[in-house]
Amino acid sequence: MQELQKLYDRIVQRANINLRELEFDVNPYVQNLIPFEQMVKFYAFFGISPHHPLNFQFKHSNLAGSYFLGQCKITNSLLYKSDIRGDELKKKGDIFQYQNFEIPVSRDEEIYIQDSMLIKTLVHNYSHDPETLEEFFIRNTVAANYANIHGSPSDGSFVGSFATVDLTTMRDCVIGNFAYIQTGEISHLYIAPGTIWIRNPDEFNFVYKHPIDALNDYIYFKSGVPPRGIFIDFVEDRKEAFQRVFDVVNIEHSTPVPSSASLDRYAVNKPPTHIGENVLVSQRAYLQNAWLGKGANAQENCYIINSRLEGNNVTAHGAKIIGADLGTNVFVGFNSFLRGAAGKGLIIGKDSIIMPHTIIDVRVPLDIPEGHLVWGMIKSESDLTRHSIPIEDFSKINSSFTMGSMFFEGNGGSFIGAFRDRIHHILEANGAFFDGSEKKGHAQKNQFISFNTLQPYPEGKYKGLYPTISIKP
């Protein structure tokens, strides 16, 4: 156990050195978040299949409860119940398009996590940074419970609970709880909790801030206080269901799964559930009385409960949909929390975009018309009018626009276009458009993954540390 403690100290110190300008000390945040004495009880696991790259390198790290797929290199790090997917990385020979540059990828990209501590964090997708095409690095970084590092290289940063950094390279930054950042490149910034910030220089800039008092009911996490609130309670209340999934070597789900779809062996599936054609249910997703139409997906850490998704729905990482009916093509962004009134109170019309980190939590029925852009915190009908707009109207903005505490400047059409392109890409990558032979995506490729478990040294000086492991084709 000594080595594990030393590793923890080293990571904290390295993060703090990077964050000295912000006078930020990560230690009181995370010192009690990893149950050191229990670290030997959780196994790490990795998937192999003929459809995914395979290159795992684990060295001097704790990987308790973490999952790996694709290509990942982990050194001197603590990854506690994290989820690292290196199956969407760039390949040698690819051409990376960035503005007017066409940059050749010179070797297979890998996710490289070094001197970092990730707690229940998702790391996924390829790095969108044109400066480091072959390495999606996470260094000297500490990320708290249910953070989301998506295509975002990071150095010397702290990512708060339920925060998402998306397609952004960050250096020496602190990202507050439930903040969502998609800004290309940032450094030496403190981002307040609940900030939603999407920026494409020269094109558009979208900023919204969740009301902090209301947000604190959902997620509250400060120096010396472990994360708490509705989000944490929600996840903790369903933890038991995952226990069974991890306790057995093989699991048979009782729901029929079409040959074009996949329901992960590490997902929780509480019937009645319906899995349509081309549906992807990822590992650590949770389905309970859920109807998923053709091409819908439930990504990692999603919860879909008492809900119906008509088809081609993206439920991005960490999104929670409870008691809602979603029309076709409705997109629900990262970590959004949608909870209808008892029963089936929430209806979202087709083609609507629920922006990342949106909270819709209503006690009375609510009907969101089709084709709307929705953001922020919505707890009533009147909140909805101040946090949504027809996509058609938004597309016409070409200077600036304010609604409640949302501020937008730039080209609305370009903003919506970027969203639509991305949604299309996500559906494509996840296999929603599979036609029986072409256009395979994760839904089809994930059917044939075999899972392998790894455990740390159970005793002695290296207790809790994993041996040095290399796995290649």
Do the Cβ atoms of 11 and 137 come closer than 8 Å?
A: no
∠373-227-3 over CA atoms, to 5°? 125
- Closest approach of Cβ 451 to a copy of itself, in Å? 6
Q: Please confirm whether the linkage preceding 226 is cis (ω < 30° from 0).
A: no
117 vs 454, beta carbon nearer a copy of itself: 454
Task: Mark residues 109-148: x for contact with a copy of itself by CB under 8 A, - for none.
Answer: ----------------------------------------
In three-state secondary structure terms, 403 is: strand
d(CA 292, CA 398): 37
Q: How far is the CB of 26 from a copy of itself (least distance, A)?
A: 29
Q: Which residues 6+ apart lie within 8 Å of 151 measured at CB? A: 124, 125, 126, 127, 128, 136, 166, 167
Among 169, 164, 116, CA closest to 141: 116
Say how many residues touch a copy of itself, by CB under 8 A: 35
DSSP string, 30-87: HTTTS-GGGTTTSPEEEEE-TTS--EEEEES-B-TT-EEEEEEEEES-EEES-EEEES
Which of residues 74 and 346 has its CB atom nearest to a copy of itself in the complex? Answer: 74
Residues 16-55, mask of contacts with a copy of itself (x by CB under 8 A):
------------------------x--x----xxxx--x-
Taking the complex as a whole, how short is the minimal distance between the CB of residue 146 and a copy of itself, in angstroms?
24
Q: How far is the CB of 272 from a copy of itself (least distance, A)?
A: 26
Does the protein bind a copy of itself through residue 255 (CB under 8 A)? Answer: no
Residue 416 phi/psi, 5-degree rounding, is -65, -40
Among positions 434-473, residues that touch a copy of itself (CB under 8 A) are 448-463, 467-473
Give the H/E segment covering residue 415: helix 412-429
Site string for a copy of itself, 209-248 (x = CB under 8 A): -------------------------------------xxx
Between residues 44 and 287, which has the closer beta carbon with respect to a copy of itself? 44
d(CA 319, CA 333): 7
- Distance in Å, CB of 249 to a copy of itself, minimum: 5
Closest to a copy of itself by CB, 52 or 171: 52
Closer residue to a copy of itself, CB minimum distance, 339 or 463: 463
**Is the CB of 105 or the CB of 469 nearer to a copy of itself?**
469
The residue among 280, 277, 284, 327 whose CA lies nearest residue 307 is 327
**Are the beta carbons of 349 and 369 closer than 8 angstroms?**
yes
SS3 assignment, position 358: coil
CB of 294 to a copy of itself, least distance (A): 24
Question: How near is the Cβ of 56 to a copy of itself at its closest, in Å?
Answer: 9
What is the DSSP code (8-state) at residue 238?
Answer: T
In the complex with a copy of itself, the residue whose CB is nearer, 239 or 472, is: 472
Q: Which of 100, 250, 259, 437 binds a copy of itself (CB under 8 A)?
A: 250
Contact footprint for a copy of itself (CB under 8 A)? 40, 43, 48-51, 54, 246-250, 448-463, 467-473
